[in-house]
Amino acid sequence: MNNPLLQEFKTPYQTAPFLSIRNEHFKPAIVEAIQMAKAEIDLITAQTAEPTFENTLEALEFAGVKLDIISSIFFNLNSAETNDEIQKIAQEISPLLSDFTNDIRMNKVLFERIRQVWEQRESLTLTVEQKTLLEKKFKSFSRNGALLNEVDQNKLRAIDKSLASLKLKFGENVLAETHHFELHLTQAEDLAGLPDDSIEEALQTAKAKGKDGWTFTLDFPSYQAIMKYSEHRAIREQMAKAYGKRGFQDNAQNNENTVKEIVALRHERAQLLGYPTHAHFVLEERMAEHPEKVIDFLQDLLVKSKPFAQREFETLEKFAQTQGLDQLEAWDASFYSEKLRKQRFNLDDERLKPYFKLEQVLNGIFQISQKLFGLHFEKTETIEVYHPEVETFIVKDADGKLVAILYTDFFPRKGKRNGAWMTSFKNQWIEKGINSRPHISIVCNFTKPTSTKPSLLTFQEVTTLFHEFGHALHGMLANTTYPSLSGTNVYWDFVELPSQLMENWAYEKEALELFATHYETGVLIPMELVEKIKESSNFMEGMATVRQLSFGLMDMAFHAQVPEWNLSLKEFEKQAIASTRMYPDVPENITCTAFSHIFQGGYSSGYYSYKWAEVLDADAFAYFQETGIFNKETADKLQHFILSQGGTDKPMELYKRFRGKEPDTAALLRRAGLI
């Protein structure tokens, strides 16, 4: 078979040849690329020369590059454009990749060569990046089975294969549950309160399904419209319960046992490697270092934020009572919060959305990036894409040199998981003097355009786009030698700094003036609205903080102790987040069975990272506020010391070089209005 994945990509900038790739190409390509990578490893271990950094560590770093690229293409499609066939292939190739990874980590000859270089490290003349790579490689072996006996290594292999399969199964179940539910309305009075564009989108969705009336789904823009605006409480309740019971129903997509198995296997794996819990294993390679520090951090923020949250909840409850509601439930939260926000600030998303046409917001972000980092974005039709909705941009610096290729994929569809994320099809690296530039992608689920209106974003969607673009900048501006240290390959509790920092510009007058114009009239957003956006930025911040802390505490409850399932999963979760609960419990709902961040993605024992990074981003943006939000010298420091450096040094060292000091936690509390 002529397999395009195994050939040199003769496409512009060697981008993925999506138009030539078929599903049947993936498994043979993965199998062949694994063999190619093994051959490259064999060349390293067969050497008779004494181990050196160059002939062992550097050679290992660039072994398997083809496999990495093919795997990235496949798993990115499995997230953004999947189908039954791709999901079946994922289940088949994940164990192969798990075996290959373990073959490397448990290769005694290879590890011995690495160990010899490691023991000589003090006498070697290495750059900071080379020292980091050596430490990272040595630990990746010693922390993942290289020091185990053969019996325990085989146990570890079995655990890793099971985990790879279970994580895929978890994600497939969540996706199936999300797309299975439909709220089909046939009476116009059932649409009371909903915005016109949401109604029009639901009309188009129903037509596409061959139905009369209006169809709403659990895709976030559709779901959010119901929760925030529907005047019918019973409809909000139906939608909320459907969203909250994904993976928690008596059907083939139930994730309860999958969660328990993942948690149990993670703990078994950690203890096999000599760690008390999975969290101890994970956090050894994080800024936080150990579970106790994370739990103390979360509890400290909870103590400081909960009084504010309780006052906000009482205010919301009293407001709802004035509207005729006796008991505030979870499905009332967004609806009455939006009403109260509108009353307090004379501001709501429907008033703002005309100023946030998607294309204008994206162009505004491009302009902000140009002002800060000298970047230029040129839309192109020459790069192949995996779906007609995907757009591509050639990114160049002020001198016209290639920086990156950027893919954007903005709208929900069948086969695309919920949420928003940044990913890469190819990392950046430097080999033989050639700086190979990255291929970066932003994937979101924003409000779709309709037959009469373009995609008009809620302000939450605006900040989401800024957030993901911050991640993209981290990937695009990467300038390191080694791919495993490039871009977002940093500690998980540091990776959210660029993304959360970027969100701050969405609230600034100087930035909004670049793009926030009415999509019909071209009139600039009134400054009174800009002020209201800033004033309302802390609205219900106490409750939002407590909600975020609940996810971090739940994550640690699963992973920082040995699980004993004498409780149901529902009861376990209730107890884990009892200190953060504001609304009455909903018996048929649960969070963990659809908590993809920690059970499918890379955030297990790391969900606290969002709040941790908020401390960093608040302190970092305070620096921009002191010097000017478009101050070139400050932006140059950010690019030089953080965005371009990836994981080449310890995160706190990188941060201190940028800021000149360690972050001040008070900056976060001040910004959030919690002190």
Q: Which of 528, 474, 476 is nearest to 501 (CA)?
A: 474
CB 383 within 8 A of CB 439: no
Q: How many Cα atoms occupy the beta-carbon half-sphere of 496 within 13 Å? A: 21
Between CA 260 and CA 567 the distance in angstroms is 11
Q: How many Cα atoms occupy the beta-carbon half-sphere of 471 within 13 Å? A: 24
Between CA 553 and CA 299 the distance in angstroms is 9
Paired tokens of 616 = 């960093």
Between CA 644 and CA 637 the distance in angstroms is 10
In this structure, the number of other CB atoms found within 10 A of the CB of residue 329 comes to: 15
- Give me the residues paired with residue 475 across strands: none
Kindly write down the DSSP assignment for every residue of 632-670, as one continuous string. HHHHHHHIIIIITTTTSS-HHHHHHHHHSS---THHHHH
CB 590 within 8 A of CB 569: yes
Annotated catalytic residue, options 81, 172, 461, 468: 468
CB 232 within 8 A of CB 190: yes
Q: Is 119 an active-site residue?
A: no
H helical segments located in 407-514: 459-476, 496-503, 509-512
Mapping DSSP onto H, E and C, the string for 407-432 reads EEECCCCCCCCCCCEEEEEECCEEEC
Between CA 1 and CA 9 the distance in angstroms is 16
Paired tokens of 11 = 């496409």
Q: Identify residue 420 by its one-letter amino acid code.
A: A
Between CA 303 and CA 299 the distance in angstroms is 6
Count the helix, strand and coil residues of the chain and give each as a percent rounded to the nearest 5.
60, 5, 35
Between CA 495 and CA 72 the distance in angstroms is 19
Paired tokens of 376 = 């230029």
Catalytic residues: 468
